Structure 1
Amino acid sequence: MSVDRLLTTVLGLYRDVHDEVKTQQIFNTTTTLLTHLHNPLNLTLLTSNLLTAPAVWHRPDPIATCYRIISIYHTAARHVYKNELDRTRQSLQPATRTGGGVGTEAWIRAVVKGADDRSPRWKHVLVLAGILTGMEATGTDTLSHGLKHLLEGAIVTATNLALEALPREGGSVPSGALALSLTYTFHMLSEPCRSSINFDLLIPVATAALLGEDGLSGGLFLGAIDVDVRQTGDQFVWSERSPSFLHLRQLTQKPLVSDMGALVKMLAYAVGRANVHPGKVMQLQDDLVAFTQRLLQQWQANKLSELEMSETSLFLTPETLRTTWPALWQLLKRITFAVVTVLHAITQRSLLDVYFRNAGVAAPLAVKSLDIFRNLSFISSPHASEFQIYKFTYLTSIDTLVQYPEACITFLQSIKRPDSGVIPANPLDRTLDLCYLSFAEHLPLNLPPDACDALIVQPAMAYLTHSAPISGRMVELFESAHSAILSVLSCPHNGDLIVKLAPFYSETLFTSFPTHISPRQFRLAFKTMIQILSPPFPISATHPGFAETLLEMVRFRITAANPLPLPPSPDAVGKEDLSGPVSEQSTLVMTLIDSLPFLPLHMVEDWMTWTAESLNEILDPAMRDVARRRYVEILGSGEMDVERAAIGVAWWGSKGGRELVLFGGPGGTSEQQQFMMSGAIVEESSKL
């Protein structure tokens, strides 16, 4: 059949609605015609009829049709350019030309003319997107500068006209089509063209495309999973043949979901450059809050939420672990990245825009951002975040919120569990507690003492007094509880609370080590306590003997402490000391050493001596060597201020400190002469 007769046949088929097989044949034939037609007028005619054809647009999945239109023109554009390139290289005669023989520029102009007034502007954007992506698919400068600029300008003009016409046209298809087109072309547009887009109108369109039916479907896919989860013995099974997993696969194959990263980058760009009133940005944030809240609620109703992540290998069947479970979490992680990317753009905008700096906007904006982080915490807790924009947005929201004490109190009250004094049995509730404690540890400086006690200390105490073995998420909770308590104790205005809390917390530290708290954590917590109880903190004046009492408790525990190496302990925040194995005994000695820079001046010299004597009680030579090196380091590294360092120099050089640390006293051997402070004077005979 000749090309002209095939064109006539296809134009006739456009007028009626056909079954799926016939419709696919129509799409394939249209692509062939766009590549082989040799008359530009016929290309214009074909495009004009395609954009109004009932056979194309009266289909159950309009967004899939939009995607197919982009694909048709993308494929045709690539073939047209390739055919012209082949003709140029081979110098073919007209009789042997491949394709229709129409040059690239003429072909583009002919097709664009077909996007006429018979069809709406949003369909024109689909055609233009297909042409631009097809011509630029190779990554080379396929189009001339003038033609590319003309094509980019056409896309921007058609997009703006389509955005303005959306209220009149109604429905989700036009907005989804625009979002889909820009998802593929936005990164190809020059900066001047991008800045010409009406971002005020684009933001709600892109938001609806991301979160709505054409995108993530409001997060409702999580609710369907629970119906298909079955229990076999002690394990859960979620079959890859279940309706919910098939639905999950279909969701991930949607064009706007499979290319969610590009859509989100466009939305973030729009947020940063739109000339919007704060109300529009707040509306976008409200949409994110509602979406993430729905995700959390759907997960709470799911049987799989009863599992600790560290226990999935025990309670999930091999099939679930191999297929359905990884697929679900891959999608949830992508959703987290998408939401945080948009939230990052909102946060950046709030720092630069004067309209966001008043308390009426800044505080609610920060609270809603933290609400979103809390809703997503079952996917990625603050301690588990891996990408920088997450950390920046999280910490910036915290920094903004702490400026408004009343908002801090209201926020903590709104997310605090009614029975926060009891450790919940459900792992998801414990995850939310972890998120709560992570928020709370940043806020006590601007909270009154009674609020610190009720909203931070009491919830944290439940985990500090937990006596059962800890593992998995409980490790992180235990660490966060310690951090929250220490943050309260570090605030000078909490003097009365410190007096009441410090003895109990100190006893908790000793009770927890080494079964529940790692050596690194114990040393850090104890050092912080000594710093809090020493000048210039006010409590050092009212209770001058408090710090020394704690040091004595450590000192008297050293002799009876276990000298054997401790097994590796879970440590979710940081890594253990890489200098070698540690024991309970050596950790207590290192704790005394770490505390020396914070002691009151009148205590420094005595405790340098007692600490050195305790150092020599370490039974293991390797651990004793590590402690010696740490002692020398703290004296010479600048950790001590000028006054304490002067005391240290005098004690080391003329009061027997060097001999006591390095040789165990005046009668020590000379095998450890290598341990010397920088600048030490050495006898000439010892150099030989």
Structure 2
Amino acid sequence: MSADRLLATLLRYLQSTSDQQDTPRLLGTALSLLTSLNNPLNITLLTSQLLSAPALWARPNALSSSLTFMSLFHSAAIKCHEREVADRHDHPLPLAARPHLESHLPLDQWITAVIKGADEHSSPANHALTIGGLMVGLASRHHDFMTTKLGLILRTAFVKAVNLALLETHPEDDLAHGSIVLPLNHAFTHLSDLDRAALDYDRLLPVLMSTTLHSSNGLRSAYFLGAADAELQQVSSQQFNWSSDSPSYQQIDSILKSPLISSLGPLSRLIAHTIDHVQDAWLVLSAVEDIADFSKRLGIQWRQNKLSEIDASEEAIFLHEEARTTTLPTLWRLLRSILFAIVIMLRSAVARAVGDVSLAAHKNAPHIAQATLHSLRNLSFIFTRLGNVSFSQYTFTYLTSIDILANYPTQSSTFLDSIAPSEPGQIPSHPLERNFDLFFLNTAEHFALILSPRQNEDLLLAASSPYLITAGNPNLLPIFEAAHSVTLSVFSAPQNVDLTAKHLPFYVDALFRVFPHNLSSRQFRLAFKNLIKVVSPPSRTAVAQPMLAATLLDLVHERAIQAPTAPLPPSYVPAQRTAPELESAPKSSIPDLSEQAVLVLTLIDAFPCLSLALLEERLPLTAAAAQMISDTDMREYCKKHFWEVLVGGEMDPERSQICVRWWTSRGGQEALLTADNPAEDQFVMSGGLGEQDEIMAKL
């Protein structure tokens, strides 16, 4: 059949309302004609009919049909471009001088003819699909094509089609919104800054938000989690299964494969760019509230799902193999994509709150910060599943929101009240509630300075107290560390002097109760060093309780004298090496340390934090404690660490002078370096003279 007869036949079919199964055949014929017709008027006619054909657009179609239509022009553009490149390679002569074999339209004329077909008889959203397909197809074969004159024509026509579609589309038409978002998401990277500036961002942002979060082509308002709960089946006395044949799993799989969610990363960056450039600040507030509502709904849906009751460490016990290897990983892949996308959107909103005058106003800034933190809290169960591994976008969004909110003490107190543990004073049994506790502790730590002592006690200390002695459970280790950090932040706040004196004995008792069996030596040393900082000058606690630091050091010293000398299990040996002499040493040169050795190292760690008088008092006592260690390797390790603290740069000038005076003229060198082997090389302070009048500079 000739091309003209085939064109006439196709046009007749396009004017009828054919069955949906005929669509692929019609589009295949259209692709063949688009790349073979040599009359630009016929190409314009065919394009115009395709964009308005009842056979293609009379019935509501899924967004996948729009993607197929976009792919039609994508494939046609690639084929025409490849044909022109091949013609140039085979026939380097000018077009008029080539032998006449078969005439084809030059690429520029073909593109112009297609654009002319996007006329007033069809929807602007369909125009965007057509021109977007051309742009993506040509850019994939010719990276610099979008910078040419023809590329400029395409970009201008595409932006015009998108803006016109945003203006004319009904607010409730989800399919039309998807047909706008789909080509824009694919073609956005090919637009120049000037083209992007011409987009109507104020109309675009609501369309992007509703299409991505709520439409049937997007994330469906997070209700897919509720459907999954109804189809969990008990297959044994302990195990549950979520079948891959269940409708809920098929729904989640279809969401992941949908045209928009399969490219959720670029789509979230498009939304973030739109948030950056909207003119109406109210739209940013609306977007943040929309994200907060979606996140809350997602968290509620997860809380009501039986899967949320199973900790990650217990999945092998309570979940069937199919659920562990097939269905649940698919769900977590979707949830991870949602987390990353929402964080990227919120990052732009928070940045606008920092740099935009209207959004930084007192009535807007704390509202944005609270909504952002609520969103991150409701998504914290996904973040925990990732292993609490932070990334730069999340860190900026989280910490900036805290910084904004911390400027408003009243709103900060209200926010902390709203996210405080539901069962203060005890560890909840539900994993999701423990995730919320972890988020609360990590967040509340930053507000200790602006809360009153009563709030610090009722909110922060009450929430952290049950976790202070739970380090033996590896699943609770992140919450355990957060609880200690919160407690120390409360003690560090200057307004909490009386509160510190009241609760510090209980905290010290908790430290000694969990070490060394449930607390690693590294954690114990770090916690105690921070505690000494809290009770040492220039803190107000040191003024109110001047003997507190000395009392704590005496407790550790007395325990070191009586502590066991057997090596601790390997998991409790310090993982970091501080002495420069040990940086290049093999691991075998670091001995297994006993509880006694760790306590001596703890005393040494505290030197840079002590007051001048207390430092002068503790230097000889700690040196004597180091000499009490019976194991030679452990003792030498402690001596090296003692030396590193003295010369490693942690001391300020006043404390350094005390150390030099003690070392050179008050018997410090002899007290520390008394060894079984008299011929052992000496440690000498900078400026000291050795036995052979040889200067050994160590600083």
**The TM-score by the shorter chain falls in which range?**
over 0.9
Distance 1:326 1:622, change over 3 A: farther
The letter for the 2-side match of 1:683 is E
Which shows bigger deviation, 369-378 or 12-21?
12-21
The aligned residue for residue 453 of structure 1 is 457
Q: Distance in 1 between matches of 2:317 and 2:684?
A: 54
Query: What is the alpha-carbon distance in structure 2 between the residues aligned to residue 565 and residue 176 of structure 1?
Result: 65
Alpha-carbon distance in structure 2 between the residues aligned to 1:153 and 1:442: 49
CA distance in 2, matches of 1:362, 1:687: 62
Greater displacement, 628-637 / 424-433? 628-637
Distance 1:637 1:465, change over 3 A: closer
Tell me which of 147, 163, 176 is aligned to 2:150: 147
Amino acid at match of 1:109: T
For the pair 1:138 / 2:141, whether they are aligned, the reply is: yes
> 1:170 Cα shift?
4.6
Of stretches 456-465 and 446-455 in structure 1, the one that deviates more from structure 2 is 456-465
Against the structure 1 CA distance between its residues 331 and 144, is the aligned structure 2 distance closer, same or farther, given a 3 Å change threshold?
closer
Which residue matches 1:435? 439
What is the CA-CA distance between 1:570 and the residue it aligns to?
8.8
Task: State how far apart, in whole Å, the 1-side matches of 2:192 and 2:544 are.
Answer: 67
CA offset at residue 74 of structure 1? 0.2
The 1:280/1:550 distance shift into structure 2, 3 A limit, reads same
Paired amino acid for 2:426: V
Specify the alignment match of 1:522 in structure 2: 524
8 Å CA contact 2:469–2:480 kept in 1: the answer is no
- Residue in 1 aligned with 2:665? 654
Greater Cα offset, 555-564 or 86-95: 86-95
RMSD of the alignment, in Å? 2.2
Cα displacement (A) at 1:365? 0.9
Change (3 A) 1:565 1:356: farther
- Aligned with residue 427 of structure 2, among 412, 418, 423: 423
2:620/2:668 contact within 8 Å kept: yes
**299-308 or 484-493: bigger deviation:** 299-308
- Per-residue deviation, 1:528: 1.5
| Structure 1 unmatched ranges of 5 or more | none
Match of 2:207 in 1: 205
Name the counterpart of 2:246.
242
Once the two structures are superposed, residues 98-126 of structure 1 have per-residue CA deviations (whole angstroms, 9 ceiling, x without a partner) of xx711110110000000000012111111
Q: Report which stretch shifted further, 616-625 or 127-136.
A: 616-625
Q: Do the aligned residues in 1 keep the contact of 2:515 with 2:521 (CA within 8 Å)?
A: yes
Give, in whole Å, the separation in 2 of the partners of 1:141 and 1:230. Answer: 55
Give yes or no for contact 1:520–1:577 (8 Å, CA) kept in 2: no
1:289–1:371 CA contact under 8 A, matched in 2: yes
Deviations 1:239-260 (A, max 9, x none): 2222211111111111000011
1:412-466 per-position Cα deviation (integer Å, ceiling 9, x unaligned) = 1111133221211111111111111111111110111001111101111121244
Aligned to 1:669: 677
Q: Which amino acid aligns with 2:393?
A: I
Equivalent positions of 1:345-364 (< 5 A) are 345-364=348-367
In 2, the alpha carbon distance for the partners of 1:450 and 1:144 equals 64
Q: TM-score by structure 1 length?
A: 0.94
How big is the shift at 1:55? 1.3
How far off is 1:26 after superposition? Answer: 0.9
What is the aligned partner in structure 2 of residue 377 from structure 1?
380
Deviation per residue, 1:555-574 (Å, 9 max, x gap): 11113323333335499xx9
- Equivalent in 326, 329, 335 of residue 326 of structure 1: 329
Q: Could you tell me how far apart the structure 2 residues matched to 1:355 and 1:623 are?
A: 62
Aligned partner of residue 52 in structure 2, secondary structure = coil
- 2:265 is matched with which residue? 261
Give the TM-score normalised by the residue count of structure 2: 0.93
Cα distance change of structure 1 residues 330 and 289 upon mapping to structure 2, 3 Å threshold: same
Alignment of 1:327-342 (within 5 A): 327-342=330-345
Cα displacement (A) at 1:96: 3.8
Describe the SS at the equivalent of 1:647.
helix
1:66 aligned residue: 66
Gaps of 5+ in 2: 93-97, 583-589
Instruction: Supply the distance in 2 between the matched residues of 1:462 and 1:177 (Cα, whole angstroms).
Output: 53
Matched, 1:172 2:185: no
Contact 1:449 1:493 in 2 (8 A): yes
Equivalent pairs counted in the alignment come to 677
Cα gap change, 1:105/1:507 in structure 2, threshold over 3 Å: closer, same or farther? same
Per-residue deviation at 1:401?
1.2
The equivalent residue for 1:3 is: 3
| Aligned position for 1:181 | 183
Q: Is the 8 A contact 1:121 1:158 kept in 2?
A: yes
Secondary structure of the 1:429 match is helix
Q: How far apart, CA to CA, are the structure 1 residues paired with 2:89 and 2:22?
A: 38
CA distance in 2 between counterparts of 1:287 and 1:593 reads 53
The answer to whether the Cα contact below 8 Å between 1:444 and 1:487 also exists between their aligned partners in 2 is yes
**Aligned partners of 1:276 and 1:576: how far apart in 2?**
52
User: Is residue 354 of structure 2 the alignment partner of residue 343 of structure 1?
Assistant: no
Indicate how the Cα distance of structure 1 residues 60 and 160 shifts in structure 2: closer, same or farther if over 3 A, else same: closer
Per the alignment, residue 273 of structure 1 pairs with 277
The match for 1:298 among 293, 298, 301 is 301
Structure 1 pair 66–604 and aligned structure 2 pair: CA distance change class (3 A) = same
- What is the CA–CA distance in structure 1 between the aligned matches of 2:683 and 2:232, rounded to whole Å? 64
Report the AA paired with residue 26 of structure 2: I
| Contact residue 472 and residue 519 of structure 2 kept, 8 A | no
SS in 2 for 1:68: helix
Distance 1:611 1:288 in 2: 56
Once the two structures are TM-superposed, the CA of residue 17 in structure 1 deviates from its matched residue by 2.8
Q: Find the aligned partners of 1:249 and 1:570 in 2 and give their Cα distance.
A: 44
Partner of residue 509 from structure 1, selected from 498, 508, 511: 511
SS in 1 for 2:440: helix
Question: Which residue of structure 1 lines up, in the alignment, with residue 586 of structure 2?
Answer: none
2:54 counterpart of 1:35:
no
| Number of the residue aligned with 1:84 | 84
The answer as to whether partners of 1:59 and 1:65 remain within 8 angstroms in 2 is: no
Q: Distance in 2 between matches of 1:609 and 1:360?
A: 59
- Write the letter of the residue equivalent to 2:629: I
Change (3 A) 1:632 1:111: same
Aligned partners of 1:187, 1:137: CA distance in 2, in Å? 12
State the alpha-carbon separation in 1 of the partners of residues 558 and 29 from structure 2.
89
1:471–1:570 Cα contact (<8 Å) kept? no
Would you say the 8 A contact 2:10–2:30 is kept in 1? yes
Give the 3-state SS of the residue equivalent to 1:442 in structure 2. Answer: helix
Secondary structure of residue in 1 paired with 2:141: coil
- CA shift in 2, pair 1:426/1:544, >3 Å: same
